[in-house]
């Protein structure tokens, strides 16, 4: 594997740390129905990104994507994938499934490694293959000892895995791509919010209070920043490396679920997580050694 882009690695790590801490933020919005949180997330993220693109690129950025039907189709699909991922994840967190959600994001990097090696011709050295194999064993242990079919985890892993692959292949910068993805989701989200508020079932500016309203608006910022960072990094760092780095986020989510929200964590789950952490330690040590050799050369 060629030398890794240090800037890309740092930006990717920042995105995963933000995602890992997200359960704490969504828990503050527990009084708001999950679908309304997602709709507000789409709305305010779209506003933020659109203003930035208008200021930096003018009004032509949207037409430039529409002039490329294949690119527009790819970003439409990635927008739908991330919308499904957002909705399921927020519901799972506020329904008390943070640990199972973290399992989904433990499975997702393994899926990215498989995609990277089988379809994008990325290569792993023998030490990295050992790390992947140990990771697979840990994920399988968690899956088969979970006690029930982990459909939340598998749906989260699949939706975000497809999203990552599309953004890897889409020839568009990270902010512009995010802007188009949000435009795909904006009209349905805005229509839903208008309907829910007019029918008296919403609470924005009327029932939840200024604090909750502010959190809903700021969710757009917290949505845009890590996605932009991820889209930037995924085009500069091999997808197999991104896949293994993504364990930062579920590890933080897992710790929040167990230590903060006091969700169940028995011996079988502990074994699976320890196996995965061992694999990550092997991968991290190998990456550090290769980076040092490259610097010396």
Among 38, 208, 245, which residue's Cα sits nearest to residue 128?
Answer: 245
pLDDT reading at 139 higher than 50: yes
Q: How confident is the model at residue 25 (pLDDT cuts 50, 70, 90)?
A: very high
Q: pLDDT tens digits for 232-265?
A: 887 788 766 776 777 788 889 989 999 999 988 8
Q: pLDDT tens digits for 264-289?
A: 888 888 888 889 888 878 877 877 67
For residue 81, give every residue at least 6 positions away whose Cβ sits within 8 Å of its Cβ, in sequence order, or none: 159, 160, 162, 163, 166
Alpha carbons 4 and 283: distance in angstroms, whole number: 13
For residue 220, give every residue at least 6 positions away whose Cβ sits within 8 Å of its Cβ, in sequence order, or none: 40, 41, 43, 44, 45, 46, 47, 48
> Looking at residue 1, what is its pLDDT?
46
pLDDT reading at 297 higher than 70: no
> What does the pLDDT average to over 73-89?
93
Q: How confident is the model at residue 148 (pLDDT cuts 50, 70, 90)?
A: low
Among 123, 118, 127, 89, which residue's Cα sits nearest to residue 250?
Answer: 89
Q: Quick one: what percent of the chain has pLDDT higher than 90?
A: 31
> What does the pLDDT average to over 30-39?
90
User: Considering Cα of 72, then 78, then 81, then 85, what sign does the dihedral take?
Assistant: negative
Round the average pLDDT of the chain to a whole number and report it: 85
């Amino acid at each position: 594997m060629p030398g890794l882009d240090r800037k890309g690695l740092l930006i990717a790590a920042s995105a995963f740390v933000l995602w890992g801490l997200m359960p704490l933020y969504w828990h503050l919005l527990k009084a708001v129905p999950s679908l309304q949180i997602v709709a507000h997330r789409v709305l305010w993220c779209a506003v933020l990104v659109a203003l930035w693109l208008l200021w930096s690129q003018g009004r032509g950025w949207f037409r430039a994507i529409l002039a490329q039907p294949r690119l527009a189709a790819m970003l439409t699909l990635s927008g739908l994938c991330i919308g499904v991922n957002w909705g399921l994840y927020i519901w799972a967190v506020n329904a008390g499934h943070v640990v199972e959600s973290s399992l989904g994001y433990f499975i997702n990097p393994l899926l990215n490694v498989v995609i990277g090696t089988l379809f994008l011709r990325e290569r792993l050295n023998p030490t990295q293959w050992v790390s992947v194999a140990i990771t697979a064993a840990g994920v399988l242990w968690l899956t088969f000892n979970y006690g029930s079919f982990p459909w939340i985890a598998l749906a989260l892993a699949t939706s975000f895995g497809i999203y990552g692959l599309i953004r890897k292949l889409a020839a568009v910068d990270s902010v512009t791509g995010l802007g188009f993805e949000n435009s795909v989701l904006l009209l349905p989200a805005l229509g839903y919010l208008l309907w829910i508020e007019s029918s008296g079932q919403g609470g924005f500016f009327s029932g939840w209070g200024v604090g909750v309203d502010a959190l809903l608006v700021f969710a757009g910022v917290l949505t845009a920043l890590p996605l932009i960072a991820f889209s930037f990094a995924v085009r500069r760092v091999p997808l197999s490396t991104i896949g293994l780095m993504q364990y930062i986020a579920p590890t933080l989510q897992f710790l929040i679920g167990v230590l903060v929200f006091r969700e169940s964590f028995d011996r079988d789950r502990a074994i699976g997580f320890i196996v995965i952490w061992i694999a990550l330690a092997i991968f991290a040590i190998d990456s550090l050694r290769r980076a040092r050799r490259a610097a010396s050369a």
